[in-house]
Amino acid sequence: MSGQLSPIDTAKFVAAKRACDFVEDGMRLGLGTGSTAAWLVRCLGEMVREDGLRITGVPTSVRTAELARQVGITVTSLDEAKWLDLTIDGADEVDPELNLIKGGGGALLQEKIVATASDRMLVIADVSKQVQALGAFPLPIEVVPFGWRTTKALIEETLTSLDVLGDQASLRLNGDQAYVTDEGNYILDLHLGRIGNPRQLALVVNQIPGVVENGLFIDICDVVITGHGSGKVEVRDINTGTTEEDRIEFVDNSNLFSDLND
Ligand SMILES: O=C[C@H](O)[C@H](O)[C@H](O)COP(=O)(O)O
């Protein structure tokens, strides 16, 4: 890859680049999944290769593990690392309280386990991910394949009784087959439109037998870095209540994007 990035990739890149300021030598780091998290992994790989940064990464998916190894990051399992200093990940939606919808890429289960096992979670996102209320993005629910149709019916029934289901749940597909997560499960996407009470919904859904985990991340995220196509970034910290603005230049560096050059 060379030359200019598209505005959306610039927004993802500048958010990822700014997130690298939070990474310190020796950290055990949760590495998220998705196109935004991939920019982070590339930027961290460059810091490892060029600046001698020593970090140990715990990836949240097979594809993040592959990319991390490819760019030179030492990778370990969560069981080996036990506890992490920081997790940096993308999101599908971020609300004003820094609650999230995640799992658009199917990695929500490992992502939630890893983020919860971290001192802090930092989310990187382009500005399109900011919403006033969660739910326009379909909410992913990871379910075990056994009896998934019954689980789906139970979810729909439960949500209808709560008056929150906008439409039916749909099984996520990969071609004409069910999409299978890294943990061997299926994903049901709930088309809700707007989630009035995400905290309640997250608790209720997880009570249904067959549900493994849902894509609502409530009170898990500490900091959100929002990137814009112009290079502007906003850093919002829920603990300090502060928002800072910054600007990052995109520097064309073919080493940085070596995995995209194939
Ligand atoms: O399962 C995937 C993850 O939750 C991603 O972090 C999320 O879908 C955002 O992905 P992207 O950065 O590609 O928009």
Q: Tell me the CATH number at 37.
A: 3.40.50.1360
pLDDT at 14 exceeding the cut of 90: yes
Instruction: Determine the pLDDT at residue 203.
Output: 95
Average pLDDT score over residue span 101-130:
98
195: domain range?
Answer: 139-214
Say whether both 118 and 153 belong to one domain: no
Instruction: Determine the pLDDT at residue 249.
Output: 82
Say whether both 172 and 56 belong to one domain: no
Q: Which region among 87-101, 129-143, 153-167, 203-217 has the lowest average model confidence (pLDDT)?
A: 153-167
User: How many angstroms separate the alpha carbon of residue 33 from the centre of ligand 1?
Assistant: 6
Q: What percentage of the chain exceeds 90 in pLDDT?
A: 87
Q: Phi, psi at residue 226, to the nearest 5°?
A: -105, 125
Instruction: Determine the pLDDT at residue 250.
Output: 77
**Relative to the CA of 38, which ligand 1 atom is closest?**
12
Name all residues whose Cβ lies below 6 A of ligand 1.
Answer: 32-37, 89-92, 102-108, 111
Give the closest residue (by CA) to ligand 1 atom 5.
34
| Inside any domain, residue 101 | yes
Tell me the whole-structure pTM to 2 decimals.
0.95
Instruction: Determine the pLDDT at residue 262.
Output: 44
Say whether both 124 and 109 belong to one domain: yes
| Inside any domain, residue 1 | no
Instruction: Map the chain to HEC letters.
Output: CCCCCCHHHHHHHHHHHHHHHHCCCCCEEEECCCHHHHHHHHHHHHHHHHHCCCCEEEECCHHHHHHHHHHCCEECCHHHHCCEEEEEECCCEECCCCCEECCCCCCHHHHHHHHHCEEEEEEEEEHHHECCCCCCCCEEEEECCCCHHHHHHHHHHHHHHCCCCCCCEEECEECCEECCCCCCCEEEEECCCCCCCHHHHHHHHHCCCCEEEECEECCCCCEEEEECCCCEEEEEECCCCEEEEEECCCCCCCCCCHHHCC
**Predicted ipTM of the assembly:** 0.99
Q: What percentage of the chain exceeds 70 in pLDDT?
A: 94
pLDDT at 159 exceeding the cut of 70: yes
Say how far apart CA 151 and CA 167 lie, in whole Å. Answer: 16
Say whether both 75 and 179 belong to one domain: no
| Inside any domain, residue 2 | no
Give the closest residue (by CA) to ligand 1 atom 8.
104
Instruction: Determine the pLDDT at residue 18.
Output: 97
| Inside any domain, residue 158 | yes
Q: Which active-site residues does the annotation give? A: 111
Into how many domains does the chain fold?
2
User: How many angstroms separate the alpha carbon of residue 243 from the centre of ligand 1?
Assistant: 23
**Relative to the CA of 215, which ligand 1 atom is closest?**
4
| Inside any domain, residue 50 | yes
Say whether both 57 and 21 belong to one domain: yes
pLDDT at 201 exceeding the cut of 90: yes
Instruction: Determine the pLDDT at residue 161.
Output: 80
| Inside any domain, residue 94 | yes
Say whether both 191 and 118 belong to one domain: no
Say whether both 94 and 223 belong to one domain: yes
Specify binding-site residues for substrate.
33-36, 89-92, 102-105, 129
Say whether both 159 and 85 belong to one domain: no
User: How many angstroms separate the alpha carbon of residue 119 from the centre of ligand 1?
Assistant: 21
Say whether both 89 and 183 belong to one domain: no
Say whether both 210 and 224 belong to one domain: no
CATH at 201: 3.30.70.260
| Inside any domain, residue 134 | no
Say whether both 42 and 102 belong to one domain: yes
Give the closest residue (by CA) to ligand 1 atom 6.
90
User: How many angstroms separate the alpha carbon of residue 108 from the centre of ligand 1?
Assistant: 9
| Inside any domain, residue 177 | yes
**Relative to the CA of 12, which ligand 1 atom is closest?**
12
Give the closest residue (by CA) to ligand 1 atom 2.
105
Say whether both 46 and 94 belong to one domain: yes
Q: Which region among 32-41, 183-192, 242-251 has the lowest average model confidence (pLDDT)?
A: 242-251
Instruction: Determine the pLDDT at residue 103.
Output: 98
